[in-house]
């Protein structure tokens, strides 16, 4: 029975493709189809990043090594959807006109941090094979700790894009928000001691304060 788990997870991981294909065929993308496609793959990228991180705590909670078998696959799907998100944004929004694209990347914080997260995903995808694990040895784990930075960048990208701190992103995600929150809760247990939760909370908090220019003793941002 366990032999069918990986193919089943693989097929389930294609769910975002099934959804967007159905909406495209039956003309259900709404009044802004380009935004719908770009945002759809962006949302699922974030979900897959958090799902990838949640495999380790699920292993600890259930005392089962089965979860770890899905980690690489989910990570590669995260990179795949991030790349589709990026390609659809560059191709559909900018029609591969790189001059205004580069200008926006440098000027708009949410685009810059999202682009940075995608760039950081590239070396992780390239070094995901068993062969690269053997070649890099101890450096492989150090390199793949970038996933914690990527997850923070992904969350900030989504928050800044949504122009609010918490409630609007969850509303935009709809039913996926429950899925996302569960994965995020599991993910907290994967952060190594060198990356304390309090540090990341302060980091995200000050980034949000910086973006919204919130100042004063009430919020405590300086």
Residue 70: predicted pLDDT: 92
Answer yes or no: are the C-beta atoms of 124 and 144 closer than 8 Å.
yes
Extract long-range pairs of 164-169: CB within 8 Å, 24+ residues apart.
Answer: 165/208
Q: Looking at the DSSP assignment, which residues form a beta bridge with residue 221?
A: 216
Rounded to whole angstroms, how far apart are CA atoms 206 and 142?
A: 26
Q: Which residues of the chain have pLDDT under 50?
A: 164-170, 172, 175, 177-178, 193-197, 199-200, 211-212, 214-222
Residue 5: predicted pLDDT: 85
The fold of the 2-191 domain, in CATH, is 1.20.120
Residue 168: predicted pLDDT: 47
pTM of the model: 0.77
Rounded to whole angstroms, how far apart are CA atoms 95 and 139?
A: 39
Residue 214: predicted pLDDT: 44
Answer yes or no: are the C-beta atoms of 66 and 105 closer than 8 Å.
no
């Amino acid at each position: 029975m366990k032999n069918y788990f990986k193919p089943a997870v693989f097929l389930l991981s294609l769910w975002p493709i099934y959804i967007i294909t159905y909406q495209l065929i039956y003309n259900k993308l709404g009044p802004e189809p380009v935004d719908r496609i770009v945002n759809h793959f962006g949302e699922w990228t974030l979900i897959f990043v958090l799902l990838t991180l949640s495999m380790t705590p699920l292993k600890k909670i259930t005392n089962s090594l089965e979860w770890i078998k899905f980690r690489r696959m989910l990570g590669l799907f995260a990179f795949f959807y991030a790349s589709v998100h990026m390609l659809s944004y560059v191709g559909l929004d900018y029609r591969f006109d790189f001059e205004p694209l580069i200008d926006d990347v440098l000027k708009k914080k949410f685009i810059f941090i999202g682009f940075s997260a995608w760039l950081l995903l590239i070396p992780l995808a390239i070094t995901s094979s068993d062969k690269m694990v053997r070649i890099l040895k101890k450096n492989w784990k150090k390199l793949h700790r970038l996933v914690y930075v990527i997850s923070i960048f992904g969350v900030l990208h989504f928050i800044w894009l949504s122009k609010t701190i918490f409630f609007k992103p969850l509303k935009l995600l709809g039913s996926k928000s429950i899925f996302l929150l569960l994965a995020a809760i599991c993910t907290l247990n994967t952060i190594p001691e060198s990356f304390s939760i309090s540090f990341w909370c302060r980091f995200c908090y000050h980034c949000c304060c910086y973006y919204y220019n919130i100042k004063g003793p009430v919020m405590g941002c300086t």
